[in-house]
Structure 1
Amino acid sequence: MLDGAVRKMINPPLDAAGRQLASLGITANTVTIVGCLIGLVAAFAIWQQAYWAGLVLLLISRLCDGLDGAIAKATQSTDFGGYLDIVLDFVFYGAIPLGFVLADPAVNAVAGAVLIFSFYVNGSTFLAYAIMAERYDMHSTVRGEKSLYFTTGLAEATETIAVFAIFCIFPQSFVWLAYIYAAICLYTALSRIVIAGRMFGQR
């Protein structure tokens, strides 16, 4: 929901940084991989209950996720780069809740499993819509230049990163926050199914 507004604010500094990094010979795919690795270290820190370290690391990871697209824009974007970006995004989004589950399985396991399930369902509606949009040659730049068609929704990257940050700041509240955000993700998935039905049902 907030990605479009946030993109307008962060794209200019990201683009400037991306051009600088590209001039140093740093590739977009390298930054994508480094960002994912940092995200996995963040998940490990959360597992060890080093929540503030996990917060810093996950924010750095998402900074890399913004920079890779800026570098690609400054050089040359590739289909594989877009593919790698979305795959490793899903790795990150699954790893952070898993970190909280491992940190306290007795308390967090069920809520974490429900949250990851909601990510799975929401992600499938996002990717399936993108596949159909490609089939009908649909394009959108609402979320910036993307390799896939991005549908809007209540739960997008900005909201998810904000929720992960709140998890780290208030880890004792993980369970009920995870259930609430899982419900938001499932609502977003349902809304995409409804939109897809209206868009593709008669085609």
Structure 2
Amino acid sequence: MLDTHARKYVQPIIEKTADFFLKTGLTANQVTYLGFFVGIFTGVFAYFGHPVIAVLTLWISGFLDAVDGTMARKTKTSPWGTLLDITFDRLVEISVIVGLAFRYPNSMWALLLLSVSIIFAMTVFLTVGALSEKNGVKSFYYQAGLAERTEGFILFSVMILFSSYLTLLTLLFLIVELFTTFQRLLEAKHLLDKKN
């Protein structure tokens, strides 16, 4: 929801950063790798009990993820860049879940359920993108929903910072994720019915 409706407020900063990186000679894919490298440490810092640093690396990674997409659109998007972007996003999320699961084993069952819901959500999201002929600003069809990347980052941040409520917060994330997935399934049904 925030990615769809609030992006316009932060886009000027993203644009300036993208222009700066392009002037220095960096490519969109290089920034994708940089964002991944920063983001993958989120789970490491969460595991070792450095929640503030973990949240900081998560958000820097997310910012670079937005910048690399803007850079790609200013130059040339590529299927390989899209694949890297989506794959690295999931790996950063996995790092957070694994880091928290090993640090707080009592919440592991809830984090496992959250992982399953993310797999389900991404299966729907990517399949609809593949079956749809619609093109958006991104190089694939992007379905808006209640929980987009920014909401995920907010929920991961709250989980990291308020770990004494980790199981409850994880279950909240799970509910939001499932709601979004069914929201996207309903939209997909209408979209795909129109194609037939």
TM range (shorter): over 0.9
**How many Å apart are 1:187 and its aligned residue?**
1.4
What's 1:100 paired with? 100
The unaligned stretches of length 5 or more in structure 2 are none
TM-score, scaled to structure 1? 0.91
Q: Render the CA deviation track for 1:96-138: whole Å, top value 9, x for unaligned.
A: 1221101121x121011011111111111100110111xxx21
CA distance in 1, matches of 2:177, 2:192: 22
Query: In angstroms, what is the RMSD of aligned CA positions?
Result: 1.3
- Preserved CA contact (<8 Å) 1:82 1:147: yes
Runs of 4+ in 1 over 6 A off after TM superposition: none
Q: 1: distance between equivalents of 2:59 and 2:2?
A: 17
Is residue 139 from structure 1 mapped to residue 135 from structure 2 by the alignment? yes
SS at match of 1:201: helix
The farther-off stretch of 192-201 and 115-124 is 192-201
Gaps (5+ residues) in structure 1? none
Distance 2:60 2:87 in 1: 18
| Number of equivalenced pairs | 195
Distance in 2 (CA, whole Å) between partners of 1:110 and 1:27 is 40
Q: Which residue of 1 aligns with 2:53?
A: 53
1:161 aligns with 2:157: no
2:42 and 2:92 in contact (8 A); partners too:
no
The 8 Å contact of residues 22 and 74 in structure 1, kept in 2 or not, is answered as: no
* Whole-Å separation in 2 of the counterparts to 1:199 and 1:5: 21
Per-residue deviation, residues 70-102 of structure 1 (Å, max 9, x unmatched): 222332222211121111111112221221101
Cα distance, 1:139 vs structure 2: 2.1
The one-letter code of the counterpart of 2:188 is A
Q: Deviations over 1:139-173 (max 9, x none)?
A: 23xxxx21111111111111101111111221111
Whether the aligned pair in 2 keeps the contact of 1:153 and 1:188 (CA below 8 Å) is yes
Change (3 A) 1:176 1:37: same
Which structure 2 residues correspond to residues 41-120 of structure 1 after superposition, within 5 A? 41-105=41-105, 107-120=106-119
Partner of 2:21: 21
Q: State the Cα distance separating 1:67 from its structure 2 match.
A: 1.3
SS in 2 for 1:53: helix
- State the AA in 2 paired with 1:188: T
Amino acid at match of 1:117: V
Residues 51 and 171, structure 1, Cα contact 8 Å, conserved in 2: no
Q: Distance in 2 between matches of 1:28 and 1:62?
A: 14
CA distance in 1, matches of 2:82, 2:12: 20
